[in-house]
């Protein structure tokens, strides 16, 4: 168990929804405690099915892509890995999916393996929004996963024009991190500022992209919001975590965009 873990992060790690975790563990609230053991996988083919549509049940073999879907959210919905979705549908890590497209989401062997698996993990909590839809919960879980993945590059060197994996500039880090979750973004901070939808500073969530006017010429710098007023960015010397309340960043902040759930 690690301090700071959450149901969102747990859901992202095991490709399930927060609501699944609540149901499987008979939780009456989203609060969990250090040392608590949680079941993070269903042992029956019906667990986790919250939609009346046959295309949304874990036993379904195909799924029609909906607006806002990504390979990550579909893998979470059907309790399979993104690698499996790629293999079953002839996709690669650079592939994009589009609303209306039909994807294969299970095989007879995979379905049997997935629904017979049961894993245990000791975890802690930050909680989730009661009554939120599974789609919203999946998007929130993905936001936490994006933020956590971005942290793995903390301390990596800054290099102008670098897009990883050994060095980054600001927009190169953004593009690289989101590509890991099959969200394709433009290369520059100026183009990234046009992606997704605007979000106010008071409504920021982990995984949102925050932008700054550092050269007096628009969104010349960006980072990934982590929560609690902090963001991670490739700055002058390395990838670092900074605070939106820092006088420098506060005076140059110009807005944020949410791309999770906004493209395929």
**What is the predicted pLDDT for the residue at 134?**
59
Residue 20 confidence (pLDDT) above 80: no
**What is the predicted pLDDT for the residue at 138?**
76
More confident residue, 103 or 6: 103
Which residue, among 1, 56, 18, has the nearest Cα to 143 in the 3D structure?
18
Of 4-13, 71-80, 104-113, 115-124, least confident by mean pLDDT is: 115-124
Integer Cα distance of 185 and 45 in angstroms: 36
Percent of the chain with pLDDT over 70: 69
**Torsions phi, psi of 97, nearest 5?**
-120, 160
N-terminal to C-terminal alpha carbon distance within the chain: 33
More confident residue, 30 or 195: 195
pLDDT per position as a tens digit, 123-177? 223 334 444 455 577 788 899 999 999 999 999 999 999 999 999 999 999 999 9
Find the radius of gyration of the CA atoms of the chain: 19
Spell 93-116 as b/e; 16+ CB within 10 A means b.
Answer: eeeebeeeeebbbbeeebbeebbe
pLDDT per position as a tens digit, 174-188? 999 999 988 999 999
Active-site residue list: 170, 221, 233
Peptide bond into 244 cis (omega under 30): no
Tokens of 95: 């592939």
pLDDT per position as a tens digit, 39-75? 777 643 233 333 323 344 444 577 888 877 788 888 7
Find all residues with CB under 8 Å of 140, minimum gap 6, and list them. 8, 18, 128, 129, 132, 205
Residue 227 confidence (pLDDT) above 60: yes
CB 51 within 8 A of CB 64: no
Handedness of CA 250, 144, 152, 37 (dihedral sign): positive
């Amino acid at each position: 168990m690690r301090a700071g873990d959450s149901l969102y992060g747990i859901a992202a790690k095991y490709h399930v929804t927060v609501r699944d975790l609540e149901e499987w563990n008979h939780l009456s609230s989203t609060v969990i405690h250090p040392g608590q053991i949680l079941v993070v996988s269903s042992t029956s083919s019906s667990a986790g099915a919250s939609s009346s549509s046959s295309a949304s049940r874990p036993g379904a073999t195909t799924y029609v892509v909906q607006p806002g879907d990504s390979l990550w959210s579909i893998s979470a919905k059907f309790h399979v890995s993104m690698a499996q979705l790629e293999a079953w549908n002839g996709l690669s890590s650079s592939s994009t999916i589009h609303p209306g497209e039909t994807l294969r989401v299970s095989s007879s062997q995979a379905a049997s393996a997935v629904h017979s698996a049961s894993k245990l993990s000791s975890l802690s909590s930050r909680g989730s929004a009661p009554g939120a839809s599974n789609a919203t919960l999946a998007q929130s879980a993905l936001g936490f996963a994006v933020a956590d993945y971005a942290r793995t590059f903390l301390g990596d060197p800054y290099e102008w024009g670098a897009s990883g994996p050994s060095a980054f500039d600001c927009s190169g880090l953004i593009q690289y991190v989101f590509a890991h979750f099959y969200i394709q973004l433009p290369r520059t901070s100026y183009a990234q500022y046009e992606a997704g939808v605007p979000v106010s500073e008071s409504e920021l969530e982990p995984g949102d992209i925050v932008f700054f006017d550092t050269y007096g010429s628009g969104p010349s710098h960006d980072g990934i919001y982590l929560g609690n007023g902090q963001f991670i960015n490739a700055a002058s010397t390395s990838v670092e975590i900074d605070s939106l309340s820092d006088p420098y960043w506060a005076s140059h902040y110009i807005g944020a965009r949410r791309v999770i759930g906004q493209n395929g």
